[in-house]
Structure 1
Amino acid sequence: MNTSSNTSTAPILDPTFGPDETGITWLQYPDGVSGIAGGMSVAPDNKILIAARTGTEFSLSRLNADGRQDDSFGNQGTVTGGFAPGFRSTGKNVQVLSDRNILLEGWFELEDYAPQERGLALFDDKGVPVKSFGNGGFTVIHPLSTPQYRLSAEEIKRKGPAASSQRGNTIELPDGKLMVLSYHRYSYYDEVGVLMRLNKNGSLDTTFADGKGYILIQYLANSTWAGSLIALKDGTFAVAGSAYIEEKTFAMMARFDTQGSPIKDFGINGYITFDFEGELNQLTELIEMPDKSIIGVGSSHSALVFKSVLVCVDAQGKAVPTFNRGKPVFTTYPQATGGIQWSGAVLRTGGRILTVGNPLREANSQIVLAQFKADGTLDAAFGNQGLLILDLTDHLDIAEAVAIQLNQIIVAGNALSSITVPRNFALRCSPLY
């Protein structure tokens, strides 16, 4: 394990974190099963929540603030289950609500290769399902019906990076209702985003969107994937994703008001698209800056190589000239043959943008953290000229999420090997970073 900076002998990881005080926690699941982490959040009391999948069930683990698993939560710090009876449930995001209940968000698949549907589960502070929510604490939201289908062998072979993305977000509104982002697939190559509003009990709120309870997110008449939702300071919502237009995938951003209507003065009828000159372009994360501009975090893929992208627009969807002269910021990674793709991002104090990502097509992939200033330039005071490299194992180290705990960096992810079971981790960087 390499935990030293490229320019200093100072440790990268915090030696006060984890059960062995190494800066890293390798999660232990009941009965010795393995897990695949998907998302993470830091609770108001600084405990760490990690959404994952174990086998075909979702899992939700809680760590104490010092990285040790919290035995007061669930079974040895973890709860597992399914959003509904079916093939597979996957945990992808988690948050603590205003009443201290814990909302797990993920995906449900009725059968192998069936369309994914948005699944939610609600637990109390001890990991016990909240019975008043959904069906005994669990629900699958599918406002549109889809004919059952199976992918052919040829469709599975051609399955692209965007098609397998499982991102999404749920936002608690001031009145306790939930705004939920999902997507709906009419067929394998025709999908739309779905923005739904739910009541506190998990049912569809039919006072939203003219009685339907949901809106469709679609750029013109094109197949559109929606992958990230944030609430803006003015009470509106921003969505990021991609749109497939004339055999090319463009990155996409959209804004909606509290009733789900597009903000007409944002781009064209509420939507803007970006061509980063790759074959596949997408935005997977959004951050609102202190000046109310919006950072889009994504990637551009061409000739089997990924470039990570940051882009900044104002409230009307116009490029912000003080951010890299109004142009996207591309981050390449020459050490990896497949380039690099950001998997998470968070805003730090002083308007600094922290991203975490993974080099692609590497047998021993490392975790790459990058910190950018508010103008889009790399923060040279962070790590080695803006980059911090973590090499946890001698195989694939994959970061899935990043968060801030008392101004320290927390990363959750997975270590994958062809000869051992997957292991998922949480780590905390030294206060120096």
Structure 2
Amino acid sequence: GADNFGRAVAIQEDGKIVVAGYSDSGSNNDFALVRYNTDGTLDASFGSGGIVTHDIAADDIATEITIQQDQKIVVAGFCGSSNKDFALMRCNTDGSLDASFGSLGIVTTDIVSTDNFGFSVAIQEDGKIVAAGYSGSVSTDFALVRYNTDGSLDPTFGSGGKVTQDIAANDSAQAITIQQNQKIVVAGYSGSGSTDFALVRYNTDGTLDTSFGSLGIVTTDIASTNDQGHAVALQSDEKILVFGITYSGSVRHLALVRYNTDGSLDASFGSDGIVTTSFGLADSFGYALGGAGALKAESCAVRGPEGGGRRKYRAQSRRQPRAPVSACRQIAVWLIILFNKTEKKNIKNI
């Protein structure tokens, strides 16, 4: 059959699990959602037998999902053929498109005339939606878009609702979270040649927060080759965790960095704020951190697929942040988030 890929997961208030990704329709990819009951069975009250797919444009990739306070489901990603645009979809609790949002539940946003890839989404306390990713082709920049609750662009944010930030030659925002004071923290990677972890904090109007790092921007070189931040979470004390991968030669390892609230590295964590580890296979990949976006100060959780080739697995490691890597108790949990209509895979709630 056709390929079906899960990219992100969210938990509803009632404990039901919603996975977002994309499904190959044969000619192109479509946004796809699957909802599971708490026991891992498909939720028949959602979409068609627990599954929702939606065609937005020629090629649609859902990369992130979040649940509003009213339990409506917001899915972010990108769509298009030759040039990509940010794409948002909002669904009602039964999986139907929310017609009060954008154009019958769909919003697409062109930030620059070339490519615009949306990778993450967060919801502010006032219900406004902020999507993050990158824009450009030869040279790319961090890109943010803020939407009102009805899906229209928020003109009080940046320029007409849009913000781009040039850090180095190639910049890619991969994850976003909102602080309690509603400042916006965006993580990813940046560089020309090799890349470093990149972290940017914005004020509520989209301007750079100059009290953070160097005029709002922090980059962290973990190894001499490529370092890529893919996830971000806030602890209850507002310290910031960024999770991703770092290269040792051609081999990838997991990397976790903790920052103080001003953007400086937290010297009490790992080795001067940095922890790297591998689960012992050919490659390790880090894509998710913390799940809920807010972590207790005494513990953290990281997840990401591990192993070479095209494996679709997740590994989770829980550790005490102040302990060195060698002293950490590691619990690896394999999670298949690849979903398939003909061979339905259940998700284990970890």
TM range (shorter): 0.7 to 0.9
1:272 to 1:170, Cα distance in 2 relative to 1, 3 A: same
State the alpha-carbon separation in 1 of the partners of residues 67 and 53 from structure 2: 17
Please list, as runs of the form range in 1=range in 2, the aligned pairs for 1:151-230 lying within 5 A after superposition.
168-185=63-80, 187=81, 189-209=82-102, 211-230=103-122
Match for residue 315 of structure 2?
A: 425
Identify which of 49, 56, 66 aligns with 1:136. 49
What do the CA deviations read for 1:316-336 (whole angstroms, capped 9, x no partner)? 1111121014241111123x4
Match of 2:14 in 1: 99
Measure, in 2, the Cα distance between the counterparts of 1:135 and 1:175.
22
Q: Cα distance 1:238–1:136, how it changes in 2: closer, same or farther (>3 A)?
A: same
Task: Confirm whether residue 324 of structure 1 aligns to residue 216 of structure 2.
Answer: no
Structure 1 unpaired stretches of 5+: 1-85, 149-162
1:401 alignment partner in structure 2: 288
* Closer, same or farther: CA 220–90 of 1 in aligned 2, 3 Å: closer
In structure 2, runs of 5+ residues without a counterpart are 324-350
Paired AA for residue 126 in structure 2: D
The separation in 1 between residues aligned to 2:201 and 2:208, in whole angstroms, is 6
Residue deviations 1:168-206 (CA, integer Å, cap 9, x gap): 222222333222213211x2x311112122122212122
Question: Which amino acid is 2:198 matched to?
Answer: V
Q: Is the 8 A contact 1:167 1:228 kept in 2?
A: no
The equivalent residue for 2:326 is: none
Asked whether the equivalents of residues 186 and 232 of structure 2 are also in contact (C-alpha less than 8 Å), the reply is no
Kept after mapping to 2: 8 A contact 1:130/1:137: yes
Q: Counterpart of 1:309 in structure 2: which amino acid?
A: A
Q: Counterparts of 1:281 and 1:328 in 2: how far apart (Å)?
A: 12
Q: Residue by residue, what CA displacement relative to the aligned partner does 1:84-105 show, whole Å, maximum 9, x if unpaired?
A: xx51111221122122211111
Alignment counterpart, residue 297 of structure 1, candidates 187, 201, 207? 187
| Shift in Å, 1:291 | 2.0
Shift of 1:115: 3.8
CA distance in 2, matches of 1:200, 1:138: 13
Does the 8 Å contact 2:9/2:20 carry over to 1? yes
In the alignment, which residue of structure 2 is the partner of 1:22?
none
Matched residue SS, 1:168: strand
Q: Distance in 1 between matches of 2:42 and 2:304?
A: 25
| 2:307 match | 416
Offset at 1:290? 2.3
| 1:384 partner letter | S
The corresponding residue for 1:312 is 201
- Structure 1 counterpart SS, 2:98: coil
TM-superposed CA distance for 1:431, in Å, is 6.2
The TM-score, its normalising length taken from structure 1, stands at 0.68
Aligned alpha-carbon RMSD (Å): 2.5
CA contact (8 A) 1:307 1:341 kept: yes
CA displacement at 1:340 relative to structure 2: 0.4
Provide the rounded CA distance (Å) in 2 between the counterparts of 1:364 and 1:213.
42
Q: How far apart, in 1, do the equivalents of 2:84 and 2:281 lie?
A: 38
CA distance in 2, matches of 1:372, 1:269: 31
Letter in 1 for 2:184: I
- The letter of the residue matching 2:238 is G
Residue 128 of structure 1 and its aligned partner are, at CA, apart by: 1.3
Distance in structure 1 (CA, Å) of the matches to 2:38 and 2:46: 15
Counterpart of 1:89 in structure 2 is 4
1:173 alignment partner AA: Q
CA distance in 2, matches of 1:393, 1:202: 40
Give me the TM-score of the superposition, normalised by structure 2.
0.83
CA distance 1:400–1:176, change in 2 (3 Å):
closer
Aligned equivalent of 2:278, options 386, 391, 406? 391
Q: 1:3-402 alignment to 2 at 5 Å?
A: 86-111=1-26, 115-142=28-55, 144-146=56-58, 168-185=63-80, 187=81, 189-209=82-102, 211-244=103-136, 247-278=138-169, 280-303=170-193, 305-334=194-223, 336-337=224-225, 339-360=226-247, 362-393=249-280, 395-402=282-289
- Offset, 1:139: 1.2
Q: Secondary structure at the match of 2:35?
A: strand
Residue number in structure 2 paired with 1:160: none
Cα distance change, pair 366–261 in 1 and its aligned pair in 2 (3 A): same
Tell me if the contact between 2:229 and 2:245 (Cα under 8 Å) persists in the aligned partners.
yes
Moved more, 200-209 or 231-240: 200-209
1:272-303 per-position Cα deviation (integer Å, ceiling 9, x unaligned)? 1011121x212111111222111111112422
- 2:305 counterpart SS class: strand
Closer/same/farther in 2, CA of residues 391 and 180 from structure 1, 3 Å limit: closer
Cα distance between partner residues in 1 of 2:322 and 2:273:
13
Q: Which has the higher contact order (CA 8 A, sep 6+)?
A: 1
